[in-house]
Amino acid sequence: MLKLHTLGKRYGSRWILRDLNLEVLTGECVALLGPSGCGKSTALRLIAGLEHPDEGGIELDGRSLDGIPAERRRIGMVFQSYALFPHLSVRDNLDLGLKIRGMAPAKRREQIDAVLSTVQLVNEADRRPEQLSGGQRQRVALGRALLRNPSVYLLDEPMSNLDAQLRDELRPQLRRLILQGPQPVLYVTHDQQEAMALADRIAVLRNGRIEQIGTPQELYLKPATRFVAGFIGRPQINWLKKTNGACIGIRPEHLRPDENGDRCRLIGREWLGANQLLLLEGAAGQLQMLCSADLQPGENLGVSWSPQDEHHFDPISEKRLSRS
């Protein structure tokens, strides 16, 4: 188990992380999700030993990592940039870490052959990184992490440099190679769709602190704050123009056409395959609605939703309001 308690890091007078408390259990994948600059990657660097915390501590399997250098932490880290040596072949990139750790040549060959087979790169073993696709390079980086036989995996936006099709192709491979293993996995991303698809739990970070942690379903159905409600869910939640003292949100997928509903004018649309994302303007403000109807800009339609699907937040604290 990986445990972070009151972890903090600052640069000068600015705190990048503060009071970070988190446990990642054996075989569990927890995603750190948040906008750029919220401290996600800094948390990984502290766990990996690449930087040192200014407060708090880190435990792995009940043992403090304080004072243990990065090379002795048995951590498999996969970076956004792949971090491959461009002048070395795939095999040599995989071999370098084993060689540094003093493993015998025959044993190194055996382990590398096994990993090449696992990440499906046997035929690319003698190629250099420049001769590989982005997805293949990331599989080399995953293979290098596997060779460390780590106690925990840290993945820092491993698919952010890939196009949408490659991300879709790599996601099941990532799940097969790492996420189904016994080690805890901490997965950093700014892509909430990626986090919801891969993680058992998601910790949403804002300004270096955890805003909410829970399963993807919990964060979607019961966001604890207005920030989480706006960050989780695509297309983004609608915020209604109402004057009852609360901030009220309704998700685009919960709106429906209704002849007796609020009258709205269609001012734009986006094609999403089976559905369209309609941009509407009415008394409640600008709304986005997912709909299969073929409508043209300028048309009017009625829109309604169930009050049970509304999310209410305090306008000052921005915390979720309980509704009896």
Q: Residue 154: which pLDDT band, with cuts at 50, 70 and 90?
A: very high
For the record, the structure tokens of 277 come out as 């994302």
Q: Which amino acid is at 67?
A: G
Query: pLDDT category, 109, cuts 50, 70, 90?
Result: very high
Tell me how far CA of residue 147 lies from CA of 87, 217, 219, in angstroms.
20, 34, 35
| Burial zone of 123 (CB within 10 Å; 0-12 exposed, 13-18 middle, 19+ buried) | exposed
Residue 235 CA, chain-centre distance (Å), reads 17
Q: What is the pLDDT of residues 59-81, one digit of tens each?
A: 998 899 998 998 888 888 887 77
Residue 314 — pLDDT band, cuts 50, 70, 90?
A: very high
Question: What pLDDT does 146 receive?
Answer: 82
Neighbour-count burial of 182, counting CB atoms closer than 10 A to its CB (0-12 exposed, 13-18 middle, 19+ buried) = exposed
pLDDT at 243: 65
Percentage with pLDDT > 70 across the chain: 99
Average pLDDT, the chain: 89
Is residue 227 within 8 A of residue 33, CB to CB? The reply is no
pLDDT bracket for residue 271 (50, 70, 90): confident
274 vs 44, more confident: 44
Helix (H, G, I), strand (E, B) or coil at 283: coil
| Domains of the chain by residue range | 2-228, 236-313
Q: Ramachandran region of residue 39, left (φ > 0), alpha (ψ -120 to 50) or beta?
A: left
pLDDT of res. 139 = 84
Q: What is the pLDDT of residue 215?
A: 96
Measured distance CA(18)–CA(89) in Å, rounded: 41
Q: Is 90 exceeded by the pLDDT of residue 223? A: yes
Alpha-carbon distances of 241 from 231, 300, 314, rounded to whole Å: 19, 19, 14
What is 236-313's CATH number? 2.40.50.140
Of 175-189, 207-221, 305-319, the least confident: 175-189
Instruction: Measure the CA angle with vertex 184, ends 183 and 189; round to 5°.
Output: 130
Q: Which residue has the higher pLDDT, 225 or 176?
A: 225
Domain 2-228 in CATH 3.40.50.300: yes
Question: Residue 7: pLDDT above 80?
Answer: yes
What are the Cα distances from residue 292, in Å, to 71, 95, 285?
Answer: 54, 53, 22
